[in-house]
Amino acid sequence: MTPRVPRPPAPQSERLPRTSTVRRRVLRSGGGAAQERTDVLATEEPLEIRVYPPDGGAAVQVAVTMRTPGHDFELAAGFLFTEGIIRDADAIRSISYCTDPSLDGAQQYNIVNVFPRSGAAFDLARATRHFYATSSCGVCGKASIDAIRLDGIASVADDDLAVDSGALGGLVEQLRAAQSLFAKTGGLHAAGLFDAAGRLVAAREDVGRHNAVDKIVGRALLGGGVPLRGHVLLVSGRASFEITQKAAAAGIPVLAAVSAASSLACDTADAFGMTLIGFVRGAQFSVYTGAGRIRFGGQR
């Protein structure tokens, strides 16, 4: 059934009556014995992103992603931006949760409506096309990189950000300290944005590592801070093509990951002049591309 067309609401704050964690009784085994206990789990629920054309047409379902509730408006805005559907924050008139009375109260908070400004550049045709599927057949790496070039993503090769090698381990420590939900559940990915001085600007957690990145980018976008030149993005898992593409779209010159990088992530970072770092564990890390931005041993 086609969703009804609501009137664009006034700007709405994100008052989410949902929790990012839930409690569940589990049987815990240890030391040859088992006992019941209450465990805290990360919430995983679908989020549908709908876009309503400025002319008042029917809603376009852009995406459904499994996410941890919280910062949903940032997630929607970040996704639309990193996937090339919008070019800047001015394209968005307002974002709201669905208020369709035919839905139960819980489901309303699993749907986000995005209303573009009249005349804004908004590629709804792209929204109806299929996005890349991880490890899909029939699309080569070069074609993937060429496709995001066509989306208007610019190289950051001229970004002169320099990162001290000894500070990278500290970024991981800062991000871990900010992962309050991970501390409770052990089941969430995280993304952290750092400024040129190595200070944590923002951290976001989610069951999906790509969602955590979209929340970071959406926060910056809605706050007028994109492109994110002179910043470092640190992700808790691996660096995939998708994560690297999103960082490139946001103009981030340095992407670091606690785990490994994929081959296509390396190719993408190289193509857009990014520094890509993996296996950041204290003072140890691997630089895949853009090593010129890393200062070793106090070099200037």
Q: Give percent of the chain above pLDDT 90.
A: 61
| pLDDT-based confidence at residue 144 (cuts at 50, 70, 90) | confident
pLDDT above 70 (res 293): yes
Nearest to 252 by CA among 266, 235, 233, 269: 233
pTM for this one? 0.87
Q: Which residues are catalytic, by number?
A: 137
pLDDT above 90 (res 245): yes
What is the CB neighbour count within 10 angstroms for residue 291? 11
Task: Compare 26 and 15 and report the one with higher pLDDT.
Answer: 26
Nearest to 258 by CA among 190, 212, 166, 198: 190
> Residue 136: its pLDDT value, please?
37
Per-residue CA distances from 180 to 109, 184, 203, 205 (Å): 23, 7, 10, 9
Domain assignments of the chain as residue spans, ordered by start? 21-127, 141-295
**What CATH number belongs to 21-127?**
3.10.20.10
pLDDT in tens, 84-130: 899 999 999 999 998 777 777 677 789 999 999 988 877 777 665 54
The region of weakest confidence among 24-33, 56-65, 100-109 is: 100-109
Task: Domain 141-295: give its CATH superfamily.
Answer: Cytidine Deaminase, domain 2 (3.40.140.10)
Task: Compare 39 and 260 and report the one with higher pLDDT.
Answer: 260
pLDDT in tens, 265-279: 999 999 999 999 999
Mean pLDDT for the stretch of residues 280-297: 94
Indicate the SS3 state at residue 220: helix
Q: Give percent of the chain above pLDDT 70.
A: 86
